[in-house]
Amino acid sequence: MKLKTFFFNKGIQKQNVKQHGWIGIVYLVGLLFALPLQMLLMTSNEEVMHEPVDNLFQIGFASQLFFILFLPVLAGIVIFRYIQTKSSSDIIHSLPIRRKDLYLNHIFTGLMLLLPPVWLSALSAAVITNTHSFFESISSGDIWGWVFAISIMTMFLYVFSVMVGMVTGMSTAQGVLTFILLVLPPALFFLITASLSRYLHGFPASYYSSENITSWSPVMKLTELDYNNMSLPITELIIYFLLTIVFGVAAYFLYKIRPLETAGQAIAFQPLKPIFKYGVTFCSMLVGAVYFQRFNTYGWIGFGYIAGALIGFFVAEMIIQKTWRIWSGKLLKGFAIYAGIIVIVGIGINTDVMGYEKAIPSKNEIEGVYFGENLQQLMNEDENKEIYANDQRYIQNVRAFHDEMIDKKQQTKPRQSRRYIVSYKLDNGEQLVREYSVSNNEKIDSLAAVMESETYKRSRFQLSELDKPMESIVIAPHVPTRDNVTISNPKEIEEIRQLLKYEISRLTIDDMLENGKNWGHIILNTEENIENAKSQPYAYRQERPVMMWKKTFDEFESWLQAHGYLEKARVTPKDIQSLEVVNVPDAAHQQYFPDQVFMRSTDNNPIIEVKDSQAVENILNNYSEHGDGTYFCRFITDSREEFYGVLTEDEVPEEIVTQFK
Amino acid sequence: MIEAKSVTKKFHNETAVRNINITVKRGSIYGLLGSNGAGKTTLLKMMAGIYRPETGTISIEDVPVFENVFIKKKVCYIPDTLYFFPQNTIAQMAEYYQNIYSEWDASRFNTLKRVFQIDTDRKIHKLSKGMQRQVAFWLALSCMPSVLILDEPIDGLDPVMRQKIKNVLFQDVADREMTVIISSHNLREIEDICDHIGIMHQGELIVEKELDDLKADTHKIQVAFKSELQEKHIVDQLEVVHQEKRGSVSVLIVKGEESNIKRIVRSEKPFVFDILPLTLEEMFIYEMGEVGYEIENILL
């Protein structure tokens, strides 16, 4: 209580509650509607089946989020409005109260208006969960989790809004800037990486700009709460709580040095004006560039940079001066200096002054290496145990590939490309990650050595899963003529295991690059996975290990035939009732999906029906589900199922090709 | 006592107040004059502890005023644009001030009710502009301040109320030695209450005078002599700041003691001799000589 008497001012508190009390009421009513009332609705309306709820975040989250995001920020604006209006600012600051006490009293009012609604909502939610069996899976821990998360985020957003208010002199600017700053870190990160990936050959933009950067923005973090983790982990809550204190203290010091005469101006501190101005210019420039990147020509991108920068620069200046008539020679000088710096930085990046593009770690620096197409594997590194390989030959091969890629710097991004990621774990603990796009029809000499190695195949095809104890193996054909085939005989499982390992070991690079020629999926029901599925709720389950059944798996196919599974496991020529083929010569540039071709009018491209059973079998064995090619085929099975495929000219029997000529 | 020592205040690139030194003695009423944009409001806001001066110090009773609660309890500021909390009645506003100003005197508040005669349960925002200004005075005077800072306070008051407020001010100055600084762009509005006058122009204080000195010291006389020589003779003896001829009658603005002037003029036996009333404005203009003609443009 001592602290209270220290700063608590009855007059201010009474006036604040009288003036701003409505915020607390709106927050309370909003949260009550979003949570407890929603819960009552769920229990009372028995005709509508609801998914079981085991968390308060799943109930009316959109409306919860609306109030949680906006009311604290609004409170920060409204309660500290007195510093943004000249007449009130003058009077209040002429009174015999220190700014410290003004600040503490107003902050205090805000918290007193915002927090009780959160607690009251949680309390009523708790009462409802205890009286309705529908919510039995919501534990008291879940409710406490909600209370802590929402209380801390409420305080954080409120205090952050207050701090921004100290920096600006206008309430509207305070609101707008608060939300901009709250999403700025990931947005800026995305913009910078998107731009760098264009100019820095090998820059792994997607590695940096994948989902975990959203955690840099409390707003984005909150919007993900309902489906992501269902709650904020305690460490993040502590971080937000500490940040609340940091921003609160920062706001206080800003208030102390704030020149009161800046009430009404967009930016209250003189030194922040150029930061604001050039910050807006920079962001706007990047937005312009990224927007025009889709036109993919240097002219348009250059236009994007210049237009973006100019718009940002002038808009920022207009906001600062609060007029649109800002033209002056001095302004042009400022922009010229900015442009000069950007050009120098641009040249620096383009000529790779830092040696970023050419950097390949030397052999003895490398502790392990990762090569692959799958970014997810690299991102979720700790979950996937060790993904870095330290086999010396493999390291050497990956380095050779990396070396070859460095020389293949393209000017424009290929339309159809494959992405390869190279990541080195270095002995100094650092990581060096590069990403390259290779056009589909480009040949990379050093790629075969990497991809045909056992190390690569082990990681790509999750061979470790094959070694695990298995309950059954399911073969799921892509053409649904039959049901899945389930093999659960331990002896057979063992044989398939060995066969699959053999088939994978003899895959060539061409087999691996071609990923449309599959008969079906092979699903491995490992005991571990089944166990996991039983113990975890749906959203948390591991994916089931799956392999593609490639058409090149000859031995596997013979085994299936020998054991009488083949006819059930995939479509066979016997199933085919009719087959039509069409040649679309311009398909090479157009990227058609096979079924698309048949949907469209085929007036210009005559359809040929293939009767010869040898040719049907031939085409069935060679078609690709998607990919390059100018010949498209439609199969119709006995059971009237249709499926489509694409073939290159080499893959189509000659007699059919001649029919088209 | 209010004291400003070489105070400068800049807004971005514009200097609003430039190196000002000013002393307002305890128990005096100081009129701060100047045209719009002269820097009066800025100076007053620094005195009220709202703005922090860039350089120099502003102290009240020898203590710097900025962020000083102890001294600000004795200071009341009435700005040119008034502010009251939205929806508050006079009584509610009074309660707020009572919580803020420890010197608040409830009986004084009730006494002043007789002067202003506005129902305390009325919402301030619904009052007229003039009435709102009365409320501001009412509240400020109930705080029993030692220093009252008034920015263009007379605007919007009717002559009767103007006189009433002046009387209340005089009373407080006389009874409690309250110090008042009052700004205006119009000398005539405040000449009857101030004992000191300072004139600001472009951020600088160009003139500072005690009115009694000025009044005792400057006289406008109308004289006519038989000969030019007689006139020349007295002009040589007097300190004449301005001279005008209307036919045979001369109008002289003369500095010095009245009795002394009379004695000198009479010694030459004028056939016309009158001492005429001099407005404060004229006094300034003549008193200040060359600067005075600049002031002429500033004062109205």
Residues of B (32-91) whose Cβ lies below 8 Å from A: 45, 48-52, 67, 69-70, 72-73, 75-77, 79, 81-83, 85-88
Distance from CA of A175 to the nearest CA of B (A): 22
Q: Is residue A202 a part of any domain in this protein?
A: no
Residue A326: predicted pLDDT: 84
State how beta strands B75-78 and B63-64 pair.
Answer: unpaired
Kindly tell me the sign of the dihedral angle through the C-alpha atoms of B71, B73, B79, B83. Answer: positive
Q: How confident is the model at residue A55 (pLDDT cuts 50, 70, 90)?
A: confident
Inter-chain residue contact B100 with A99, CB threshold 8 Å: no
8 Å CB contact between A132 and A43: yes
Q: How confident is the model at residue A79 (pLDDT cuts 50, 70, 90)?
A: very high
Q: Which residues of B touch A12 (CB under 8 A)?
A: 99
Residue A598: predicted pLDDT: 78
Comparing alpha-carbon positions, the chain A residue that sits nearest to B92 is A15
Q: Is residue A208 a part of any domain in this protein?
A: no
* Mutate: best of A13, A14, A94, partner B, most B CBs <10 A: A94
Inter-chain residue contact B67 with A260, CB threshold 8 Å: no
Cα(A564)–Cα(A558) distance, rounded to whole angstroms? 10
Residue A165: predicted pLDDT: 96
Q: Which residues of A touch B51 (CB under 8 A)?
A: 259-261
User: pLDDT tens-digit profile of A494-506?
Assistant: 888 888 888 888 8
User: Which residues on neighbouring strands pair with residue A425, listed in sequence order?
Assistant: A368, A431
Of A414, A509, A496, A495, nearest to A460 by C-alpha is A509
Q: Is residue A204 a part of any domain in this protein?
A: no
Q: Is B136 on the interface with A (CB under 8 A)?
A: no
Q: Which of B50, B72, B81 sits opposite A96 (nearest CB)?
A: B72
Of A458, A491, A457, A489, nearest to A472 by C-alpha is A489
Token pair, residue A426, equals: 């270095």
Distance from CA of A356 to the nearest CA of B (A): 44
Q: Which of A249, A267, A285 is the last residue of a domain?
A: A267
Q: How confident is the model at residue A1 (pLDDT cuts 50, 70, 90)?
A: very low
Give me the amino acid identity at B130: G
**Percent of chain A whose predicted confidence (pLDDT) is above 70:** 92
Inter-chain residue contact A90 with B50, CB threshold 8 Å: yes
Comparing alpha-carbon positions, the chain A residue that sits nearest to B96 is A11
* Pair (A35, A149) in one structural domain: yes
DSSP label of A389: B
- Segment (H or E) for A14: helix A10-34
User: Span A623-633, mean pLDDT?
Assistant: 83
Inter-chain residue contact B50 with A86, CB threshold 8 Å: no
Where residue B269 falls (left for φ over 0; alpha for ψ -120 to 50; beta otherwise) is: left
For residue A410, give Cα distances in angstroms to A79, A198, A199, A202, A207. Answer: 56, 10, 10, 11, 20
* Pair (A341, A411) in one structural domain: no
* Pair (A260, A370) in one structural domain: no
Inter-chain residue contact A19 with B86, CB threshold 8 Å: yes
Residue A507: predicted pLDDT: 86
Give yes or no for residue A540 having a pLDDT over 80.
no
Chain centre distance of CA A407: 30
Of B196, B195, B219, B224, nearest to B277 by C-alpha is B219
Residue B35: predicted pLDDT: 78
* Pair (A241, A288) in one structural domain: no
Inter-chain residue contact A94 with B73, CB threshold 8 Å: no
Cα(A340)–Cα(A161) distance, rounded to whole angstroms? 35
State how beta strands A470-477 and A546-550 pair.
Answer: unpaired
Distance from CA of B194 to the nearest CA of A (A): 24
Sheet containing strand B63-64, strands side by side: B14-24, B2-11, B55-60, B63-64
* Pair (A450, A547) in one structural domain: no
What domain range is A466 assigned to? 461-569
Cα(A263)–Cα(B50) distance, rounded to whole angstroms? 12
- Placement of tokens 């005077």 in the chain: B141
Inter-chain residue contact B48 with A94, CB threshold 8 Å: yes
Q: Is B176 on the interface with A (CB under 8 A)?
A: no
Residue A4: predicted pLDDT: 45
8 Å CB contact between B84 and B124: yes
DSSP label of A571: -
Cα(A130)–Cα(A119) distance, rounded to whole angstroms? 16
User: What b-and-e string marks burial along A502-513, b requiring 16 or more CB atoms within 10 Å of the CB?
Assistant: ebbeebeeebbe
Of A182, A128, A131, nearest to A153 by C-alpha is A182
Q: Is residue A186 a part of any domain in this protein?
A: no
User: pLDDT tens-digit profile of B77-95?
Assistant: 999 999 999 999 999 999 9
Q: What is the 3-state secondary structure (H, E, C) of A163-215?
A: HHHHHCCCHHHHHHHHHHHHHHHHHHHHHHHHHHHHHCCCCCHHHHCCHHHHH
Q: How confident is the model at residue A210 (pLDDT cuts 50, 70, 90)?
A: low
* Mutate: best of A16, A257, A261, partner B, most B CBs <10 A: A261
Number of Cβ within 10 Å of residue A38's Cβ equals: 17
User: Span A196-216, mean pLDDT?
Assistant: 75
* Pair (A310, A324) in one structural domain: yes
Of A135, A130, A143, nearest to A51 by C-alpha is A135
User: Which residues on neighbouring strands pair with residue B104, listed in sequence order?
Assistant: none
Inter-chain residue contact A96 with B69, CB threshold 8 Å: yes
User: pLDDT tens-digit profile of B186-197?
Assistant: 777 787 888 898
User: Span A14-22, mean pLDDT?
Assistant: 93
* Mutate: best of B85, B129, B132, B144, partner A, most A CBs <10 A: B85
Q: Which residues of B touch A95 (CB under 8 A)?
A: 72, 100-101
Sheet containing strand A431-439, strands side by side: A366-372, A417-426, A431-439
Give yes or no for residue B300 having a pLDDT over 60.
no
What crossing angle do the helices spanning A490-505 and A554-562 adopt, rounded to 10°? Answer: 160
Give yes or no for residue A96 having a pLDDT over 80.
yes
Q: How many inter-chain contacts (A to B, CB under 8 Å) are there?
A: 74
Mean pLDDT of chain A: 84
Cα(A605)–Cα(A586) distance, rounded to whole angstroms? 11
8 Å CB contact between A265 and B55: no
Inter-chain residue contact B100 with A97, CB threshold 8 Å: yes
For residue B88, give Cα distances in angstroms to A16, B84, B91, B121. Answer: 12, 7, 8, 9
Q: How confident is the model at residue A2 (pLDDT cuts 50, 70, 90)?
A: very low
Q: Which residues of B touch A320 (CB under 8 A)?
A: none
Q: Which of A240, A267, A294 is the last residue of a domain?
A: A267
* Pair (A112, A240) in one structural domain: yes
Comparing alpha-carbon positions, the chain A residue that sits nearest to B42 is A261
Say how many CA atoms lie within 13 Å of B73 toward its Cβ.
Answer: 10
Q: Is residue A161 a part of any domain in this protein?
A: yes
Q: Is B145 on the interface with A (CB under 8 A)?
A: no
Q: Is residue A149 a part of any domain in this protein?
A: yes
8 Å CB contact between A73 and A161: yes
* Pair (A421, A517) in one structural domain: no
Comparing alpha-carbon positions, the chain B residue that sits nearest to A270 is B12
User: What b-and-e string marks burial along B76-115, b requiring 16 or more CB atoms within 10 Å of the CB?
Assistant: bbbbbebbbbeebbbebbbbbbbbbbeebeeebbeebeeb
| Chain A residues near any Cβ of chain B (below 8 Å) | 9-12, 14-15, 18-19, 85-91, 93-99, 259-261, 270
User: Span A620-647, mean pLDDT?
Assistant: 84
Long-range CB contact pairs, A654-661, < 8 A, 24+:
A655/A612, A655/A615, A656/A581, A656/A608, A656/A610, A656/A615, A659/A608, A660/A583, A660/A606, A660/A608
Comparing alpha-carbon positions, the chain B residue that sits nearest to A257 is B52
User: Which residues on neighbouring strands pair with residue A576, listed in sequence order?
Assistant: A637
* Pair (A238, A92) in one structural domain: yes
Give yes or no for residue A278 having a pLDDT over 60.
yes
Q: Which of A267, A294, A310 is the last residue of a domain?
A: A267
User: Which residues on neighbouring strands pair with residue A369, listed in sequence order?
Assistant: A389, A424
Residue B57: predicted pLDDT: 93
User: pLDDT tens-digit profile of B274-299?
Assistant: 888 777 777 777 766 656 556 666 65
User: Span A457-465, mean pLDDT?
Assistant: 80
Give yes or no for residue A34 having a pLDDT over 80.
yes
Q: Which residues of A touch B47 (CB under 8 A)?
A: none
User: pLDDT tens-digit profile of A294-304?
Assistant: 777 778 888 99
Number of Cβ within 10 Å of residue A120's Cβ equals: 15
ipTM entry? 0.87
Inter-chain residue contact B99 with A86, CB threshold 8 Å: no
User: Span A348-377, mean pLDDT?
Assistant: 82
Token pair, residue A577, equals: 């009732």
Residue B294: predicted pLDDT: 62
Long-range CB contact pairs, A172-179, < 8 A, 24+:
A173/A266, A173/A267, A173/A319, A174/A76, A174/A77, A174/A80, A174/A84, A175/A73, A175/A74, A175/A77, A178/A73, A178/A76, A179/A73, A179/A219
Long-range CB contact pairs, A460-465, < 8 A, 24+:
A460/A372, A460/A373, A460/A374, A460/A512, A461/A504, A461/A547, A462/A545, A462/A547, A463/A501, A463/A504, A465/A524, A465/A526, A465/A545
Residue B278: predicted pLDDT: 79
Give yes or no for residue A33 having a pLDDT over 50.
yes
Q: Which residues of B touch A14 (CB under 8 A)?
A: 95-96, 99
* Pair (A72, A109) in one structural domain: yes
Residue B256: predicted pLDDT: 83
Q: Is residue A556 a part of any domain in this protein?
A: yes
Q: Is residue A138 a part of any domain in this protein?
A: yes
Chain centre distance of CA A548: 26
Inter-chain residue contact A99 with B67, CB threshold 8 Å: yes
For chain B, domains (ranges, CATH) are: 2-202 (3.40.50.300), 214-299 (3.30.70.120)
Residue B9: predicted pLDDT: 93
* Pair (A280, A327) in one structural domain: yes
Inter-chain residue contact B72 with A15, CB threshold 8 Å: no
* Pair (A391, A517) in one structural domain: no
**Helix residue ranges, H only, chain B:** 40-47, 69-72, 90-100, 106-116, 129-142, 159-176, 187-190, 211-217, 228-237, 258-267, 280-287, 289-299
Q: How confident is the model at residue A362 (pLDDT cuts 50, 70, 90)?
A: confident
Q: How confident is the model at residue A222 (pLDDT cuts 50, 70, 90)?
A: confident
Give yes or no for residue A460 having a pLDDT over 90.
no
Comparing alpha-carbon positions, the chain A residue that sits nearest to B71 is A96
Residue A656: predicted pLDDT: 79
Mean pLDDT of chain B: 87
User: What b-and-e string marks burial along A374-400, b requiring 16 or more CB atoms within 10 Å of the CB?
Assistant: ebebbeeeeeeeebbbeeeebbebbbb
Q: Which residues of A touch B87 (CB under 8 A)?
A: 18-19
Q: How confident is the model at residue B96 (pLDDT cuts 50, 70, 90)?
A: very high
Residue B291: predicted pLDDT: 60
Q: Which residues of A touch B45 (CB under 8 A)?
A: 90, 94
Give yes or no for residue A390 having a pLDDT over 50.
yes
Domains identified in chain A, total number: 5
Residue A83: predicted pLDDT: 94
